[in-house]
Chains A and B, each alone.
Chain A
Amino acid sequence: MTEAETALWWARVRATGPQRVAPSSAFPAGMLRLVEPDVAAVWLLAAVPETARPSVAEELGLPVLAVEHPNDTARVLAACLRCCWADPTGPLWPGKPASKDEVATVLGAIINRTEAASNIALLGAIRRLAGAAWLLWDEPAQMVRLGPRVAVWGSADLSALRELWRMVSSSADIGRADVEGPR
């Protein structure tokens, strides 16, 4: 792979987000390769040092990119993280798929809101997150997976995320509490 091709890949990844390519394709320098669980494809993701992440903008007090409903979106991401991160001692990627209902259950435990409003907010947030490759959203099957962008979180971030994982109760816990609740 020549330098020009590498530069082209970087430009592509920066301009359009993580790229899904065939597993046999080239490997641009300095990129993360995230293999899909079925090894049918590979995600290319720009691997930048910790001091060049988007989080630096926040530390420097620069304006970060605005999201619609930032809190709701963050909560949905947290709920998806709880559902899809199968083993919190291991890496985030690839994670296991979870249905939208599972996510909705977990989200319901985080926020108290009417079912309908929560559903609309959930769908919107999932689409927003999927647009930025934080999630992979299978609309027909209504299944959610963690997107390739989660691999950007570093090891320091991961420990905070484990904390979050423990903080949020899983859908199975909630289901059991519901059954045992009216005892």
Chain B
Amino acid sequence: MKGHDAEIQWVDGKAKIIDLVGLHARPAVKLTKLAKSYKSEVEICSGENRNWVNAKSPNAVMKLRADYNSPLFVRASGSDAAQAVKAIIDLVDRNFNE
């Protein structure tokens, strides 16, 4: 499951939730699906508490409770980490195509 290095190399990124309800079910599904399309481990976290969760788990993403206007941090580790981070940031910036 992990990358090849002993020490995990993360690629980081940051976006902002602009939907009024915050990160809710439909966007959470879109984010999870997108994350699953990459081989890398992808994690996200939100707001003040830096609790990284698996971006491929819709349950964990939902429970992040990412609010309107709150920053969303993304990190990935693996062969396609940079693409994964960029794709997820783009999705959030496009307001999940809502």
A binds B: no
Write the residues of chain A forming the contact surface with B, with a CB cutoff of 8 angstroms.
none
Write the residues of chain B forming the contact surface with A, with a CB cutoff of 8 angstroms.
none
